Chain A
Amino acid sequence: QVTLKESGPVLVKPTETLTLTCTVSGFSLSNDKMGVSWIRQPPGMAPEWLAHIVSDDEKSYNTSLKSRLTISQDTSKSQVVLTMTNMDPVDTATYFCARIHKYTITTFNGMDVWGQGTTVTVSS
């Protein structure tokens, strides 16, 4: 059974750095046909794709957030980590990780398994 689970702080202060961890099971992060995406969803709004990683060297980022995001993985721990710097109240959202299937180096098929999400509030 494939599962993903997000973990991280519930509350962060403005200007702080957010670090989120996605722990996966049921598939290997070494599989170069699968990767992990991070997606966030502010209350009442559409999901927003943030980043993904496939193997250790294929990474992509949301265009407008690229300067603030870093995605990495620790295959031995089956974990994918997302850091977002300089947090602001507008970054308050539920953050999800999801498995994604690679089709070619730039194309993908759907995110088929999602974590339950972790809600992050940015407030002083």
Chain B
Amino acid sequence: DIQMTQSPSSLSASVGDTVTITCRARQTIGSFLNWFQQKPREAPKLLIYAGSTLQSGVPSRFSGSGSGTDFTLTITGLQPEDFATYYCQQSYTAPLDFGQGTRLEIK
């Protein structure tokens, strides 16, 4: 299995800040890395797939980068609705493991 490790596990920031979340795969996964946002009592929402491709309808303040084993999600200019938990997931090969999550809180 390809273990996914996210950091940090939690993060405090203010509206307008820029934040970065990292995700590391235990082995190379090409660009098959997805980022999800989840709010309480909701299903995860796909933000970015293939490492850097923005899902339709997702604001451009979200961006993804990386390939191989190291990936980042950047949110530029945090908005109040961005405070949520973020997960990475590899889709290179089954099992399609998720990271353990990063909780983004308001400072």
Cα distance, A106 to B90, chains bound together (Å):
12
Q: How many A-B residue pairs have CB under 8 A?
A: 73
Q: CB distance B49 to A52 under 8 Å?
A: no
Residues on the A chain within 8 Å of B30, using CB: 107
Distance from A10 Cβ to chain B, minimum over Cβ atoms (Å): 16
Residues on the A chain within 8 Å of B45, using CB: 114
Helix, strand, loop or mixed for chain A's interface?
strand
Number of B residues, CB within 8 Å of A: 27
- A 52-94 binary contact with B (CB < 8 Å = 1; else 0): 1000000011110000000000000000000000000000000
Most A C-beta atoms less than 10 A away, residue of B36, B46, B92: B46
Q: CB distance B44 to A114 under 8 Å?
A: yes
Give 8 nearest A-B pairs by CB, closest first. Answer: A110-B49, A60-B94, A114-B43, A110-B34, A108-B91, A49-B96, A110-B46, A109-B49
- For the A-B complex with A37-B96, A63-B95, A107-B32 known, give 13 more contacts whose Cβ atoms are closer than 8 Å: A46-B98, A52-B94, A61-B94, A96-B44, A106-B92, A107-B30, A108-B32, A108-B91, A109-B32, A109-B34, A111-B44, A111-B89, A114-B43
